[in-house]
Structure 1
Amino acid sequence: MHRAAAMPRVRSVPRLPRAAVWALALLALLVAGALWLRDSSLVSVQKVTVVGLTGPEAPRVTRQLEDAARDMTTLHVRGDQLRSVVEPYPVVKDLRVSTDFPHGLKITVVENTPVAAISVGDDRTPVSADGKLLRGADQRQLPIVPLRVAPGGNTIVDATARHAIAALAAAPTALRARVERASTTREGGLTLKLRNGPDLRFGGADRLAAKWAAATAVLASSASAGATYLDLRYPERPAAGGLEDPATQRDPEAVNSADPTQPTPTPGATAPVTP
């Protein structure tokens, strides 16, 4: 006779202590409650504040952000959804969101700052420092960068215009506000025309920080009074041009009446100015 095969011994699974069972049950209940509260009407967004927007598109963008935010709660803010609302508006650079529990939400819009306006005929479009067209941005008084042909995309690719935009982006804010227009010639390179001031002849779009520092210093000096342009191509040796008397910064008739033997200075000459 064959012996019956021995049955394998089944190991018993140790039971969790009752306290641990209750702890797990309580944890599951808390998680479920938190998930319910996160999206419940008890913390629904009811008051939305949108700040930082300017320009003609501001009312429309504000309204769209408010509508999107009211579908959220202060415990479950979906930033990606809010950013998708402003994606069609290049003037918006970023959003910063803060909550005021239980029903308040504040959205701070960070705008791309326009440094110039691209001009094609009578049409003007603000542009940022990186060459992005900011359609819908505030049409404030901006330096004009002329183009012969309207850009086909959302970014300026014309090299000459990009150089002018880079120079304007590097300008001190107070001086940039005085620039009326940028122009470029093969002979003189980039020139920025100041409002109630001399033209700034930059030449190339290199050493921009040094050129703006030289321009700031020379404009602040009385030695440049009456100049029609500043030659900043070599910022360590800036020169003021178009002066009546580059040697003394005085009227040439006054000089000759004081000393008739002195030759009449050549109008329009360039005088080096020490910043």
Structure 2
Amino acid sequence: MPRVRSLPRLPRWAVWALAVLALLIAGGMWLRDSSLVAVRHVEVVGLSGPETARVTRQLESAARDMTTLHVRGDQLRSVVAPYPVVKDLRVGTDFPHGLKITVVENTPVAVVTVDGAKTPVAGDGLLLRGADQRDLPTVPLRVPPGGDHVADRSARGAIAALAAAPAALRARVIRATTTKAEGLTITLQSGPELRFGGADRLAAKWAAAAAVLASADSRGATYLDLRYPERPAAGGLEDPTLQQDPEAVNQADPADTTTSAAPATGSTP
């Protein structure tokens, strides 16, 4: 008969150590889902727009089924999945009963418009239905967008241009349109049109626009040609030789209706 080799016996201290470890693991598993650390106070921050109250209620409800030792981030993210305005969640615990949820929103840079209906849109073309429709530049569309993103290529180029704009200039933009004749044109409030041509080299074109707008030489321009940002041009400026002196106009004889500056050639009777 083959001889069966017996397993070595563990020292008594090792047996006790394993028993204590098993108890700690079991106790930890019990505690992490126990009412002793149940979430009772939920704070939701970072939301804006008309969906704020609804999303907050849903997050609070989901969070109160958790504990501060067992936060299920995937479950919280599934709650906000139907809301494209929510980009991500950051969750922090305040032991033993507090939970803070910080909502990271997709920032709208424009609204796409179809027959007067407006939908906020992010810089990557994501439609942010339910987002705050504050004063944003408009990008017109011929047909309503389908799916989750703007599909129209020209509109996406205009949206990308607005996303690349410096914040101070974007706040002045009224609309961005694309035509075959002029390409991408951005209309400013109380300022000239910005003619980008194509939706390429956006950083360089915005830098050129900012530099020209800051120059006194561009005052009175009706448009800026930014197709070649190394050589921006201000167009529509008045010819200073054709401008009239306001004081001279005010001092002129009201009975004199002559508009030409040329001397009279006839003799006085």
TM-score by length of 2: 0.89
Secondary structure of 1:107 counterpart: strand
* Paired residues for 1:55-134 under 5 Å: 55-134=49-128
- Structure 2 residue runs without a partner (length 5+): 249-260, 263-269
Indicate yes or no: 2:4 matched with 1:14.
no
Q: 1:234 aligns with which of 228, 235, 238?
A: 228
Q: C-alpha displacement at 1:176, in angstroms?
A: 0.7
CA RMSD of aligned residues (A): 1.6
Secondary structure of 1:27 counterpart: helix
CA distance in 2, matches of 1:199, 1:13: 88
CA distance in 2, matches of 1:253, 1:196: 24
Indicate yes or no: 2:147 matched with 1:153.
yes
Indicate yes or no: 2:213 matched with 1:222.
no
CA distance in 2, matches of 1:189, 1:140: 27
Q: How many residues are treated as equivalent by the alignment? A: 249
TM-score by length of 1: 0.88
CA distance in 1, matches of 2:177, 2:45: 36
Indicate yes or no: 2:235 matched with 1:253.
no
Aligned to 1:270: none
Secondary structure of 2:139 counterpart: strand
Aligned to 2:24: 30
Q: C-alpha displacement at 1:254, in angstroms?
A: 4.0
Q: 1:46 aligns with which of 40, 51, 54?
A: 40
Q: C-alpha displacement at 1:252, in angstroms?
A: 2.1
Aligned to 1:137: 131
Letter in 1 for 2:127: L
Aligned to 1:243: 237
- Structure 1 residue runs without a partner (length 5+): 1-6, 262-275
Aligned to 1:207: 201
Q: C-alpha displacement at 1:251, in angstroms?
A: 6.1
CA distance in 1, matches of 2:97, 2:194: 54
Superposed CA deviations along residues 208-227 of structure 1, whole A, max 9, x for unmatched, are 11110000011111111111
Letter in 1 for 2:157: H
Aligned to 1:184: 178
CA distance in 2, matches of 1:30, 1:122: 64
Q: C-alpha displacement at 1:183, in angstroms?
A: 1.5
CA distance in 1, matches of 2:173, 2:53: 30
CA distance in 1, matches of 2:222, 2:147: 37
CA distance in 1, matches of 2:99, 2:119: 32
Q: C-alpha displacement at 1:253, in angstroms?
A: 2.4
Superposed CA deviations along residues 59-117 of structure 1, whole A, max 9, x for unmatched, are 00000000000000000000000000000000000000000000000000000011110
Runs of 4+ in structure 1 displaced over 4 angstroms?
none
